[in-house]
């Protein structure tokens, strides 16, 4: 079939990379050559780490059934990211988002994903810490980092608070509610001697 490319083997791929690097080196642009070499190095480290992780995950229990082994690989952030990058991950975006959210330390649920904008709305379940913005920011950043691997379709994460988990503010008063026995400043009202 014309136009179809066959996947190169390791030797062919290595030779092709060397040819491209040699062409860049012969251009005389030292910065471009160094950037290309750095790019190749980063990609090799990424792929090497993913394959090492896959082998490690499979080696923990080599007797396990194939489906369980595949599920283990799909739940791993590094391996899943590589599969998603190449369009090889078998799960659809909502399933991958659910896997990513399950990996977060804070309980969150999806409140909706808009594929057109890439926005995922998340609802915080339970307390996100002290109620200050810092803990919400940490949850948002953790979600964004995990989703980048499992579901790069998600480009924006918006956090919504679960109304049932909002803290109840207590009014601190000078006496029990409804008490009229306190005067100004919480002191008992002055009494006059008969």
Which among 154, 165, 155 is positioned nearest to 123, based on CA atoms? 165
- Mean pLDDT over all residues of the chain? 78
Please report, rounded to a whole number, the percentage of residues in the chain having pLDDT higher than 70: 74
- Residue 83 within any structural domain of the chain: no
CA atoms within 13 A on the CB side of 182: 11
Q: How many angstroms separate the CA atoms of 174 and 124, rounded?
A: 35
Q: How many angstroms separate the CA atoms of 31 and 61, rounded?
A: 46
Distance linking the first and last C-alpha atoms of the chain: 114
Q: Span 131-154, mean pLDDT?
A: 80
The model's confidence at residue 133, banded by pLDDT at 50, 70 and 90, is very low
Q: Span 174-190, mean pLDDT?
A: 54
- Residue 170 within any structural domain of the chain: no
Contacts of 6 (CB under 8 A, 6+ apart): none
- Residue 171 within any structural domain of the chain: no
Domain count, the chain: 2
CATH number where 152 lies: 3.30.300
157, 96: one domain? yes
Choice between 125 and 133, residue whose per-residue pLDDT is larger:
125
Q: Span 28-50, mean pLDDT?
A: 89
- Residue 10 within any structural domain of the chain: no
Residue 132 domain boundaries: 91-165
Please give the pLDDT value at position 84: 87
Please give the pLDDT value at position 121: 93
Asked whether the beta carbons of 124 and 106 are under 8 A apart, the reply is yes
Asked whether the beta carbons of 151 and 93 are under 8 A apart, the reply is yes
69, 103: one domain? no
């Amino acid at each position: 079939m014309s136009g179809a490319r066959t996947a190169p083997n390791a030797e062919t791929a290595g030779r092709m990379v060397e040819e491209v690097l040699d062409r860049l080196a012969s251009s005389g642009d030292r910065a471009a050559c160094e950037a290309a070499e750095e790019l190749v190095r980063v990609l090799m480290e990424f792929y090497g780490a993913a394959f090492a992780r896959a082998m490690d995950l499979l080696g923990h229990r080599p007797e396990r059934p194939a489906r369980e082994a595949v599920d283990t690989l799909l739940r791993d952030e590094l391996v899943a990211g590589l599969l998603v990058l190449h369009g090889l991950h078998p799960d659809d975006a909502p399933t991958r988002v659910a896997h990513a959210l399950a990996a977060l330390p804070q309980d969150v649920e999806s409140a909706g994903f808009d594929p057109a904008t890439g926005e995922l709305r998340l609802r915080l379940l339970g307390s996100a810490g002290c109620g200050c913005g810092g803990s919400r920011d940490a949850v948002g950043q953790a979600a964004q980092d995990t989703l980048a691997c499992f579901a790069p379709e998600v480009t924006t994460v918006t956090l919504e608070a679960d109304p049932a988990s909002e803290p109840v503010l207590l009014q601190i008063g000078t006496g029990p509610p409804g008490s009229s026995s306190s005067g100004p400043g919480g002191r008992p009202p002055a009494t006059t001697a008969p």
